[in-house]
Amino acid sequence: MSSPATASPPAEGLRRALPIVLGYVPVGFAFGVLAVKNNIPPSLAVAMAVLMFSGSGQFVFASLWGAGAGILSVIAAVFIVNLRYLLMSAAESPWLARLPRGQRFLLGLGLTDETFAVNITALQRGWPLNPGVMYICNSTTHLAWVIGCTVGAFCGELVNDVRPLGLDYALTAMFLALLVPQCVSRLHVLVALFTTVLSIALKAAGMSQWNVAVATVLGASLGVLLLYARRGPGLNAPGGGSDSGETRPAQPATSEVRP
Cβ neighbours for 9, distance < 8 A, ≥ 6 positions apart: 130, 132, 133, 136, 258
Q: What is the pTM of this model?
A: 0.68
Domain boundaries, the chain: 9-183, 186-243
Q: What is the pLDDT of residues 113-155, one digit of tens each?
A: 889 988 988 888 888 888 999 999 999 999 999 999 999 999 8
Mean pLDDT within 102-115:
90
- Is 70 exceeded by the pLDDT of residue 174? no
Mean of the per-residue pLDDT values of the chain: 80
Give the per-residue pLDDT at 48.
Answer: 92
What is the rounded distance in angstroms from the CA atom of residue 99 to the CA atom of residue 115? 18
* Residue of 57, 56, 111 whose CA lies nearest to 89: 111
**Cα 150–Cα 151–Cα 156 angle in degrees, nearest 5:** 110
